[in-house]
Homo-oligomer: A and B are copies of this chain.
Amino acid sequence: MKKIINKPEDYLKEMLEGIYIAHSDQVTCVNNDLQCYVTKTKKEGKVGIATGGGSGHLPLFLGYVGDGMLDGCSVGDVFQSPSADQMLAITKEIDSGAGVLYIYGNYNGDIFNFDMASEMADFEEGIRVETVLGADDVASAGPSEPGEKSTRRGVAGIFFVYKCAGAAADQMLDLDNVKRIAQKAADNVRTMGVALTPCIVPRVGKAGFSIGEDEMEIGMGIHGESGIRRGKIEPADQIVDEMLTQIIEDLPYNKNDEVAVLVNGLGATPLDEQYIVVRRINQKLETAGITAVKYYVGEYATALEMAGFSISLLKLDDELKELIKHPVNTPFFKQ
């Protein structure tokens, strides 16, 4: 295991200590629990937005806590959910009377704990909590009846849900409206990933799966969940075409639609390659009559040192288009 770490069991604590040291001007923890991470900026009367999830995905999740985006985040150990108590602590800390919105990825462990925190916040603290799930992954969209719970995993596209909801809350919209906007962003974002190499969870010490020297897996999840097709690695343009076709077909698109695009590196893939991907996306979107009004490129939701990338498309209406432009200032993301 070739990692810059000390003892694997100290990984989370030491990583978080480093983050609080580097960004002490902007963030702090609640009740001396390093895993309860909140912004130092409090805006009275603003809807609070909380997220959370396992570590190992930086800048996801805590990297989006800051001005114009989220207010708090509880993080678990690598690829593990934080506890309901930690989420409750965040909820109490960030509520300023206008209620709290939870936005997190569609994973059972997180749902269980966030739901419990939400009930405790309501019954014990009288804090109104609403929830919007990130469930943007095209590869894991199983067959489901209308009204059934989505099988889609939450992956990089949750960035856009944070971005739009965070902007709405910062503009002092009420909880109903911030939730409505978060849900609209969640409903209109789709993501597809491809992995080239596995990653190693420090406490486990070996790769979660193996993949051939010349192979890739389309649709793999950010914890190494199985994708939809494994095959020989192909030229970048061919990979992008396969991914983008499935993303576009998953939502109804019309000519002259506008989108925001996120090209997200999973960890070990150089920025250079991500821009080669941007070039092809733009060609394909132009052919489809879809306009990309904004590109985000870089590492937004990683899987430790996994090589690969994902593409997320957010279909915009006038409201989301304005919210996307809203300024953000977190230690990990600025716009």
Binding site for B on A (CB under 8 A): 2-7, 11, 14-19, 21-23, 55-56, 58-59, 196-197, 213-214, 216, 233, 235-237, 239, 267-279, 282, 295, 297, 299, 302, 304-305, 307-309, 334-335
Contacts and interface: CB of A to CB of B under 8 A. Distances in A.
A273 B334 contact: no
Contact of A335 (B5, B11, B274, B334): B334
B2 A307 contact: yes
Contacts of A58: 270-272
A26 to B, nearest CB: 12
What secondary structure prevails in chain A residues at the interface with B? mixed
Given A196-B2, A237-B6, A270 B14 contact: no
Contacts of A22: 275, 278, 295, 297
15 contacts: A2-B197, A2-B214, A4-B239, A4-B269, A5-B236, A5-B273, A6-B235, A6-B237, A11-B272, A16-B275, A17-B275, A18-B279, A19-B278, A271-B302, A334-B334
A282 B21 CA distance: 8
A21 to B, nearest CB: 5
A240 to B, nearest CB: 9
Contact of A5 (B56, B235, B302, B304): B235
| Residue of A55, A272, A297, A335 contacting most chain B CB atoms (<10 Å) | A272
Nearest to A211: B2
A56 B272 contact: yes
A275 B18 contact: yes
Across the A-B interface, give the 8 residue pairs with the lowest CB-CB distance, nearest first. A18-B275, A18-B278, A268-B268, A22-B295, A334-B334, A18-B279, A58-B271, A4-B273
Nearest to A10: B276
A276 B309 contact: no
A302 B298 CA distance: 13
B239 A276 contact: no
A299 B300 CA distance: 13
Contacts of A14: 236, 275-276, 279
A16 B276 CA distance: 8
